[in-house]
Amino acid sequence: MLLFRVFLRHKNGSLALAQAFDAVLLSRETAERGLWTLYATGRVDEQPMNILSNAAGISGQDQPYSLERVQTLIRDSVARGDAARGMMIFQSASMGCATCHKVDGFGGWVGPDL
């Protein structure tokens, strides 16, 4: 995923990535890892996001609430989560989470506390 980050540092790198992704058949795992890399850098560039989402089988449509899904997400977060990295992403100006939301007393007042 280092390659993604290198591309994203360059002007029009996002477009070049999108064109490269569109030219090959990406595995679901590669697409998912690419999405996580983009999220982690705070980038939400539409073209690569759409191509990676399609390759990962992510529709972008809201999923109905499921207690089982929430419990699975909690278990996964406890097992593999990285609180320091999560806080770094939360505080990132490019993500804008802290504009509305608050974690441990840090952040905005509009959205619910996380």
Nearest Cα neighbor of 13 from 39, 50, 38 is: 38
Place of tokens 């999220």: 39
Amino acid of residue 7: F
Amino acid of residue 17: L
pTM: 0.50
* CA angle, 110 then 39 then 72, to 5°: 80
Per-residue pLDDT of the chain (114 residues; tens, 9 = 90+): 677 777 778 888 878 877 888 788 888 888 888 888 777 777 677 888 888 888 888 876 667 888 998 899 899 989 988 888 888 888 887 777 888 888 888 888 887 887
